[in-house]
Structure 1
């Protein structure tokens, strides 16, 4: 795959700057905060759940802004064409070829190795609808690249974007992801009835204890 680093090098265009600024402002003005800490090193997969509302996108933008992270996400290469190419790249998009002749995992791993910092963002369910079929591509990418998976999720009751456990993939997907599932189950998504986990269970009645979670003060505070 041809290397395209323009999203990491060029200053974002006015449309993407305005888009991002508005939603970051909305995150703050509605009272949301961020707690938790990212691992050192600058390269990791940010695995988000539970994804039950369009508002989750605003929470996501607010969290990465507060933490000073430039998010990256995977997108079908055909979407990165005029007139949307610049906007897609500005927002952190990585064009990947999902045809049978291309190895998507290897494409992204090559990008991770080529850059100094890389925060790949994924929604582990891949949909806002209830599903027990969680994605595994992000896990295979983290394993192949040798980078950790950081569990991140929204807690709507407390208006918190929570950065939780850091998982170093071992190759045992079920055992590693159980740590993530135990974390996500203790967060209250926008629509708890839509949250479903691979074992068929839903959100727990137990809420996550955030006593020891550091509060992010924000980049500009």
Structure 2
């Protein structure tokens, strides 16, 4: 029932399409970029709902206050306290290794603002836990969910990072979008 509702909202009512050629994995990191809007979360949840899948996600701890905190935790949210020291990547890699199912969605920019340097934690989690990274993009202009590449981290960080940056370079124009998901021009 939930899958049908997500399909109806995302694909039928809102007119989105998908171009996803990577296989379903029980354990992976899902990199989503560019991250330009809070709508990214809703679109991502709806898309994953159409597949009957569930992914955890990292989100700034401030979002986990009342009244939305319980909802984000229920949806798989992991609060991130940027002021705390300690290796979140090590903790998540250990959880991934010990789990039968681990899908973690991350936005490498770490913020909706334009940044010149992406956070690399998602890469190190994948490397430490021996997980593939699926490279997803939300194309607001063309109303598409795109994932046509997957990377298994190697011992050559520079080559891996270049692959990731080259893949996302073709989506750079997504950063400035007219929100085609909002209702009647609402942002």
Q: TM-score range by the shorter chain?
A: 0.7 to 0.9
Please point out which of 46, 51, 57 is paired with 1:67: 51
Equivalent in 141, 165, 168 of residue 152 of structure 2? 168
- Are the equivalent residues in 2 in contact too, given 1:156–1:190 (CA < 8 A)? no
Q: Secondary structure at the match of 1:147?
A: coil
- Specify every segment of 5 or more residues in structure 1 that has no aligned partner in the other structure, as ranges: 1-16, 193-221
Q: Distance in 2 between matches of 1:165 and 1:105?
A: 23
**Structure 2 residue ranges without an equivalent (≥5):** 178-187
Measure how far apart 1:78 and its partner are.
8.3
Q: How does 1:178-189 map to 2 (within 5 A)?
A: 178-187=162-171, 188-189=173-174
- Is the partner of 1:178 in helix, strand or coil? helix
Structure with larger Rg: 1
RMSD: 3.0
Q: Where in structure 1 do 4 or more consecutive aligned residues deviate above 3 Å? A: 20-26, 37-41, 75-86, 95-98
1:39–1:166 CA contact under 8 A, matched in 2: no
Change (3 A) 1:53 1:80: closer
Write the deviation string for residues 142-163 of structure 1: whole angstroms up to 9, x where unpaired.
Answer: 0000001110001223211011
Match of 2:19 in 1: 35
TM-score for both structures, normalised by structure 1: 0.66
**Inter-CA distance 159–105: structure 2 relative to 1 (3 Å threshold):** same
Aligned length: 173
1:113 aligns with 2:107: no
Whether contact under 8 Å (1:24, 1:58) holds in the other structure is no
